[in-house]
Amino acid sequence: MNKLKISFEHEKFPLKDGFTISRGKRDVIEVIKVKITDGVFKGYGECSPNVRYSQSISSEIDKLKLIKKFMKNTSVDYNNLKLVDLCGPGPASAAANSALLDYKLKKMNKTIWEYLKINEPKFIKTMVTIDISSLEKMLKKAERYKKYKMFKIKLTGKNEDFNKLNKIREIYPKKNIIVDANESILPENLKNYLTICERLGIEMIEQPMRPEFDQLLTNIKSKIIFCADESCRDISDISKVKGYYNAINIKLDKAGGLIEALNMCLSAKKYGLLVMTGCMMCTSLGIAPAQVLASYSDYVDLDAPLFLEKDRPNSMNFDSGKISVAKKILWG
């Protein structure tokens, strides 16, 4: 058997209009593309480091170098190789695991659906994110994506949120809406947000406050679903957040790969938690492995490629909230 080799490169993809959340604006996304090959078959993966977790392109490449050294100096059985054990859950493990799985599938000439023995869906449904901007620009984006069944509205944690939510609900009275605060709501303002969200029929608040304030959610009685994102990075966090939240946002870049993400999904459901499949800002290569997790999820937020000026070749197609299943040539 030819020895497996791993390589990786830093790539940049400009965004159409920029993308803003409470932590700041981005005009370009930066990802790491990983390739694993035996000289005949090739598998690919991608990750997007997140500064929120003190990650950078450099820090994740350093971890990928550890994986490269291990694979060079060790006789590897790819069927039993657990790359997440080498450098922990996170983007580097996710990209390497995605590349390894893609390599394995291409070598076996199987799709991911055949490999996992699950039915391949015709398409995956996703919500669409309305990021932070002026009211005028947010309304323009809402109009552009009005055929999507669900909006995710990004919040600033400031009073300006209320006017924007009121206006969007006024224009789209029947639209399913959730909001994502990215930790921006101060504890003393949570009650105000709950009041307006309940009045406007908003379904979910994702990560309202910073994780150190999670305990404040314990005794809140509300129809609104609280979803943990920054508070739940990997499977070890689920037992901590289950007492505060009704749902968790699982991302491959947090979990460390698809199999790890699926294990998180099983654990969450065991505790009676709802599951959202989420993504970092990425290309279709980052979305493709997550489509499997999405098929088991209650909510799906896999819209990142929509906001790119140009996606990768053989990209997934987005049409009014429906994502085409990834082609084998892209991944899986």
Positions marked catalytic: 154, 251
Length of the chain: 332
Q: Which residues lie closer than 8 Å to 322 by C-beta, 6 or more apart?
A: 123, 124, 125, 126
Q: How many Cβ atoms are within 10 Å of 257's Cβ, its own excluded? A: 27
Amino acid at 49: P
Run of H or E including 36: strand 24-37
Encoded amino acid at 253, one letter: D
Count CB atoms within 10 A of the CB of residue 156.
16
d(CA 173, CA 258): 36
Q: How far are the Cα atoms of 23, 97, 149, 233 from residue 253, in angstroms, in the given order?
A: 19, 10, 26, 9
How far apart CA 129 and CA 302 sit, in angstroms, is: 9
In the three-class reduction of DSSP (H, G, I as helix; E, B as strand; rest coil), residue 49 is classed as coil
Report how far residue 98's alpha carbon sits from residue 67's, in angstroms, rounded to the nearest whole number.
14
| DSSP reduced 3-state for 179 | strand
152 contacts 143 by C-beta, under 8 angstroms: no
Spatial distance between the Cα atoms of 230 and 208, rounded to a whole number of angstroms: 10
Helices (H), the chain: 57-73, 84-87, 91-108, 112-116, 135-144, 160-171, 190-199, 238-241, 252-255, 258-270, 284-287, 290-294
CA 151, CA 95: separation in Å to the nearest integer? 28
180 is in an annotated binding site: yes
- Residue ranges for the known binding site for Mg(2+) are 180, 206, 229
- Residue ranges for the known binding site are 180, 206, 229
